[in-house]
Amino acid sequence: MADINTIAKQFTDFYYSTFDTNRGNLQSLYREHSMLTWEGQQLLGAANIAEKLTSLPFDKVLHKITTLDAQPSSLSVASMIVSVTGLLVVEDNQNPLQFSQVFQLIPDGDSYYVFNDIFRLNYGA
Protein backbone atom coordinates (compact mmCIF):
# COMPACT_ATOMS: atom_id res chain seq x y z
CA MET A 1 0.00 0.00 0.00
CA ALA A 2 1.18 3.49 -0.79
CA ASP A 3 2.32 5.86 1.92
CA ILE A 4 -0.59 7.63 3.66
CA ASN A 5 0.84 11.09 2.92
CA THR A 6 1.21 10.23 -0.76
CA ILE A 7 -2.41 9.07 -0.93
CA ALA A 8 -3.59 12.21 0.90
CA LYS A 9 -1.65 14.44 -1.51
CA GLN A 10 -2.98 12.62 -4.58
CA PHE A 11 -6.53 12.83 -3.25
CA THR A 12 -6.38 16.53 -2.40
CA ASP A 13 -4.68 17.42 -5.70
CA PHE A 14 -7.52 15.64 -7.54
CA TYR A 15 -10.28 16.99 -5.29
CA TYR A 16 -9.31 20.66 -5.48
CA SER A 17 -8.40 20.55 -9.16
CA THR A 18 -11.83 19.06 -9.89
CA PHE A 19 -13.58 21.51 -7.54
CA ASP A 20 -11.90 24.44 -9.29
CA THR A 21 -12.77 23.25 -12.81
CA ASN A 22 -16.02 21.21 -12.62
CA ARG A 23 -17.58 20.73 -9.17
CA GLY A 24 -20.25 18.39 -10.56
CA ASN A 25 -17.59 15.76 -11.13
CA LEU A 26 -16.99 15.50 -7.36
CA GLN A 27 -20.19 13.48 -6.86
CA SER A 28 -18.35 10.24 -7.70
CA LEU A 29 -16.11 10.75 -4.62
CA TYR A 30 -19.10 10.44 -2.27
CA ARG A 31 -21.57 7.65 -1.45
CA GLU A 32 -25.20 7.63 -0.28
CA HIS A 33 -24.04 7.44 3.36
CA SER A 34 -21.41 10.19 2.98
CA MET A 35 -21.89 13.40 4.93
CA LEU A 36 -20.74 16.95 4.18
CA THR A 37 -20.90 19.70 6.78
CA TRP A 38 -20.52 22.99 4.88
CA GLU A 39 -20.30 26.01 7.17
CA GLY A 40 -22.48 24.18 9.72
CA GLN A 41 -25.06 22.86 7.22
CA GLN A 42 -25.14 19.05 7.17
CA LEU A 43 -25.91 17.21 3.94
CA LEU A 44 -26.27 13.45 3.56
CA GLY A 45 -25.73 11.52 0.34
CA ALA A 46 -23.76 12.01 -2.85
CA ALA A 47 -26.59 13.70 -4.77
CA ASN A 48 -27.30 16.23 -2.00
CA ILE A 49 -23.60 16.97 -1.58
CA ALA A 50 -23.11 17.48 -5.33
CA GLU A 51 -26.17 19.75 -5.45
CA LYS A 52 -24.72 21.90 -2.66
CA LEU A 53 -21.28 22.15 -4.26
CA THR A 54 -22.63 22.99 -7.72
CA SER A 55 -25.04 25.61 -6.36
CA LEU A 56 -22.38 27.67 -4.55
CA PRO A 57 -22.73 31.35 -5.58
CA PHE A 58 -19.54 31.73 -7.61
CA ASP A 59 -18.29 30.58 -10.99
CA LYS A 60 -14.51 30.94 -10.68
CA VAL A 61 -12.58 29.57 -7.71
CA LEU A 62 -9.00 28.53 -6.97
CA HIS A 63 -7.81 26.59 -3.92
CA LYS A 64 -4.24 27.18 -2.73
CA ILE A 65 -3.22 24.55 -0.18
CA THR A 66 -1.13 25.75 2.77
CA THR A 67 -1.00 22.62 4.95
CA LEU A 68 -1.90 18.98 4.47
CA ASP A 69 -1.86 16.42 7.29
CA ALA A 70 -3.00 12.80 7.26
CA GLN A 71 -3.46 10.09 9.87
CA PRO A 72 -4.84 6.55 9.84
CA SER A 73 -8.38 6.51 11.26
CA SER A 74 -8.88 2.80 11.98
CA LEU A 75 -6.88 -0.17 13.17
CA SER A 76 -8.88 -2.60 11.02
CA VAL A 77 -9.49 -0.65 7.79
CA ALA A 78 -6.98 1.37 5.73
CA SER A 79 -9.04 4.55 6.21
CA MET A 80 -7.60 7.97 6.94
CA ILE A 81 -8.32 11.47 8.17
CA VAL A 82 -6.99 14.27 5.95
CA SER A 83 -6.83 17.83 7.26
CA VAL A 84 -6.29 20.71 4.84
CA THR A 85 -5.85 24.45 5.33
CA GLY A 86 -5.41 26.98 2.61
CA LEU A 87 -6.55 30.01 0.70
CA LEU A 88 -9.66 30.27 -1.44
CA VAL A 89 -9.54 32.78 -4.29
CA VAL A 90 -13.10 33.49 -5.46
CA GLU A 91 -13.80 35.32 -8.75
CA ASP A 92 -10.18 36.60 -8.90
CA ASN A 93 -10.68 38.59 -5.66
CA GLN A 94 -7.39 40.07 -4.45
CA ASN A 95 -8.26 39.12 -0.83
CA PRO A 96 -8.36 35.31 -0.61
CA LEU A 97 -10.41 33.64 2.11
CA GLN A 98 -8.78 31.24 4.55
CA PHE A 99 -10.38 27.81 4.81
CA SER A 100 -10.00 24.50 6.56
CA GLN A 101 -11.37 21.17 5.42
CA VAL A 102 -11.25 17.69 6.94
CA PHE A 103 -11.95 14.49 5.01
CA GLN A 104 -12.37 10.95 6.26
CA LEU A 105 -11.44 8.65 3.40
CA ILE A 106 -12.57 5.01 3.29
CA PRO A 107 -11.01 2.42 0.97
CA ASP A 108 -13.14 1.28 -1.97
CA GLY A 109 -11.36 -1.25 -4.13
CA ASP A 110 -8.14 0.36 -5.39
CA SER A 111 -9.35 3.84 -4.48
CA TYR A 112 -11.00 5.81 -1.67
CA TYR A 113 -14.30 7.60 -1.19
CA VAL A 114 -15.21 10.50 1.10
CA PHE A 115 -17.20 9.27 4.09
CA ASN A 116 -17.06 12.57 6.02
CA ASP A 117 -16.21 16.07 4.79
CA ILE A 118 -16.19 19.18 6.99
CA PHE A 119 -15.57 22.60 5.45
CA ARG A 120 -15.19 25.96 7.22
CA LEU A 121 -14.06 29.41 6.25
CA ASN A 122 -11.66 30.81 8.87
CA TYR A 123 -12.44 34.39 9.73
CA GLY A 124 -9.96 36.57 11.64
CA ALA A 125 -11.01 38.23 14.89
Neighbours of 122 (CB within 10 A): 11
Percent of the chain at pLDDT > 90 equals 84
Return d(Cα 52, Cα 36) in angstroms, integer: 9
Predicted confidence (pLDDT) at residue 75 exceeds the cutoff of 90: no
pLDDT for the residue 8: 96
Percent of the chain at pLDDT > 70 equals 97
Domain assignment of residue 73, given as a range: 4-121
pLDDT (tens digit per residue) in 21-53 = 999 999 999 999 999 999 999 999 999 999 999
Give the mean pLDDT of the chain.
94
In total, how many domains does the chain have?
Answer: 1
Average pLDDT over residues 83-109: 94
CATH number at residue 23: 3.10.450.50
